[in-house]
Structure 1
Amino acid sequence: MRAILIAAALLTAAAPTVQALDAAAAQTAQASAPASAFERDRQSILAQAGQYRVHFDMRENVSFRADYDPLEEKLSGGSEIVRIVYDKGDRISLQHILVMEHEGQVMVIKHWRHDWVYQPQTVLTYAGPNQWTLTPVPADQRAGAWSQTVWQTDDSPRYGGVGHWTYDNGLSAWTSNATWRPLARRDAVRNPVYDRYLGTNRHILTPDGWVHIQDNMKMSGKAGGEPVAIVQEDVINTYDRSTSYSPQAGDDYWTKTQGFWSAVRDAWDAAIATHDGIQLQEIGETGSVTGTPLMDLAQQIADGEATEAEAVAKARVLITEATTPR
């Protein structure tokens, strides 16, 4: 329930060791030229960790149907920390955690996660409603490339793509190939005429942090056959470094729950490996059918109402039942 409340607020409006890792990553990214292109890319990815004020700017621009009028621009924002889950050299994982104040109380929600893999053999891609598949990456496309796989609040899949970091014109930027994506909550809860996006993703470092730019073609495949374009949307999410709020509540939550979430990631990975992809029911409010129960289990650990072992056992059952083909 807390997750739904904070998601609605966004639509309308740890530990010192973890902080030290993020600070070190940011300093490394600003250091002199790295020894290799691979290391330069790594530094660019790690530079996205830190403490931020985030501004969300979403606007539908061009309609491709006579009977569809683009939505009004939607602006919102929040406070978000990005922590390094792991850095294994050619595999890096970054976790976003919202830290927001509401009516005098600090509210924390585990937000999205993005995993980066150097020269990936496969990438998990969205294949249409309730379906994700492991897609091979041809050798000529993976040379020097990084995949980015984005996961929802409960670590269930969202989308994946492959692209290269470039350093032209003074910009450190990663650009994905065009990727299919499920509807974001802001659209899914409205039951719109479109049911998926075809999007291109860019991550660009800025002097104060970084920006996440999405070029989304909102598509409809409801009639069967090839999806048709409805409207184009730009999403610009700007992450500006900030010390104007305390990240402590978010880091405390992550310290208490990161063992649970590690086991949850392993359970999702096992399901994906077993089925060469995954079938999972999408839910507008929470992203997936597992969204609320998994988030609730983590909160029970954080509140001292359940042990990690108890919560992990329940989570594994939930994921197995949700991903078993019927």
Structure 2
Amino acid sequence: MKTRMMHTVALALLALAPAPALADGPLRQSPAEALAAKAADRAEILAMAGNYKVRFDMQETTAWQSGYVPLDRKISGGHEVVRVIEDQPDHIVLQHLLVVDDHGKTMVIKHWRQDWDYQPSRVLVYAGQGKWVWEAVPEAMRAGRWSQTVYQVDDSPRYAGWGRFETQGGVRRWRSNWTWRPLARRDAVRHPVYDRYYAINRHQPTPTGWIHWQDNMKMALKDGKLVPIVQESVLNTYERFDRYDVKAADTYWARTRDYWAAVRAAWSRVADTKGGIAIPEKADTGTVISGRLLSIADAIAAGKTTEAAGVAEARTLIDRNTATIG
């Protein structure tokens, strides 16, 4: 009797427990379900646009090599404007712009860009040492999924991954596959023992904005083999906030958007015709032409040069400094 009662209680508790999350795999959706899911996904992506106060919280946590001492936690922040600059059914582009108060003077700094593509056949991934190559998305894993490609301040690539939007525990999120990334400036300028990240990215809406959470494994190339050095957790929190000079960001973008559209097109052409993008990089600036591409935009915004002249120089810089990937 006692055994039977315990069995009954156990079954009742099991019924109350949440079902385990299934491993990622090919999505099975009816046409109606796929259409509804895509609409919901697009709404989540577009909702990342807005005016924000941003908090960047970075912490190395677990050392994977004996003798390595993780860095102290670093927290910083700022104000960031995010604008939708392209919106097509299967392609959305969000541009980030930092707004900085420099001793009473407002400065706008073109920040990162994120491109979202529905059911992509390929993505441009980091391959180490200033090189990004095309990688096919497994055909069985394309349906219902989105790729996110992140670009650096000069619109050169940074990293790309693909994944699905899903709801777990009542929270909706997009999670990438494992992706390779070059070092962020915060690490690159220190000349650390590691030289790239292997990471999973998550984007999740919150009641007041959204978060970008990164699970980064910092890796080093030793004797021709990649080895893990330390784990890092990065949580970037975007809280809706507009009590800063938002207009400065919109003015900058209005004056330079056509220039940057031409720059994006130039990088895209190189990626398609040269088998990807190969360009030397510097720790403090990213690509070797990053500083110049940004200064051309500043000159256009200030009326010191024409858009036509700026675009012509940018195209020349990109063509001359990129190599064909064999």
TM-score (norm 2): 0.88
1:130 aligns to 2:138 (yes or no): no
Between Structure 1 and Structure 2, whose CA radius of gyration is higher?
Answer: 2
Aligned to 1:67: 67
User: Aligned partner of 1:155: which letter?
Assistant: D
Deviations 1:168-200 (A, max 9, x none): 322120000000100000000000000000010
* Counterpart Cα distance in 1 of 2:298 and 2:197: 31
1:170 aligns to 2:174 (yes or no): no
Aligned to 1:238: 237
* Counterpart Cα distance in 1 of 2:183 and 2:323: 23
Deviation, structure 1 residue 309? 0.3
* SS at structure 2 position matched to 1:238: strand
* Counterpart Cα distance in 2 of 1:271 and 1:224: 32
* Counterpart Cα distance in 2 of 1:76 and 1:44: 26
* SS at structure 2 position matched to 1:227: strand
* SS at structure 1 position matched to 2:245: coil
* Counterpart Cα distance in 1 of 2:223 and 2:111: 33
* SS at structure 1 position matched to 2:237: strand
Deviations 1:281-307 (A, max 9, x none): 111111111210100100000010010
* Counterpart Cα distance in 2 of 1:66 and 1:325: 40
Aligned to 1:14: none
* Counterpart Cα distance in 2 of 1:243 and 1:303: 24
- Residues 35, 119 of structure 1: alpha-carbon distance in 2 compared, 3 angstrom cutoff: closer
1:54 aligns to 2:54 (yes or no): yes
1:90 aligns to 2:90 (yes or no): yes
Aligned to 2:319: 320
Gaps of 5+ in 1: 1-33
* Counterpart Cα distance in 2 of 1:232 and 1:253: 37
Aligned to 2:181: 181
Aligned to 1:202: 202
Aligned to 2:282: 283
Aligned to 1:309: 308
Aligned to 1:143: 143
Deviation, structure 1 residue 258? 0.2
* SS at structure 2 position matched to 1:120: coil
* Counterpart Cα distance in 2 of 1:203 and 1:193: 29
What percent of counterpart residues are identical? 52
1:36 aligns to 2:36 (yes or no): yes
Aligned to 1:251: 250
Aligned to 1:293: 292
Deviation, structure 1 residue 142? 1.0
Query: 137-146 or 249-258: which moved more?
Result: 137-146
Aligned to 2:81: 81
* SS at structure 1 position matched to 2:155: coil
Gaps of 5+ in 2: 1-33
* Counterpart Cα distance in 1 of 2:162 and 2:200: 10
Deviations 1:16-65 (A, max 9, x none): xxxxxxxxxxxxxxxxxx97100000000000000000000000001111
- Residues 282, 224 of structure 1: alpha-carbon distance in 2 compared, 3 angstrom cutoff: farther
TM-score (norm 1): 0.88
Q: What is the count of residue pairs matched by the alignment? A: 293
Aligned to 2:104: 104
Deviation, structure 1 residue 324? 2.7
Deviations 1:134-178 (A, max 9, x none): 101111111111000000000001000000001232212000000
- Residues 245, 59 of structure 1: alpha-carbon distance in 2 compared, 3 angstrom cutoff: same
User: Aligned partner of 1:167: which letter?
Assistant: T
* Counterpart Cα distance in 2 of 1:138 and 1:176: 14
* SS at structure 2 position matched to 1:174: strand
* SS at structure 1 position matched to 2:304: coil
* Counterpart Cα distance in 2 of 1:135 and 1:275: 14
* SS at structure 1 position matched to 2:169: helix
* SS at structure 2 position matched to 1:114: strand
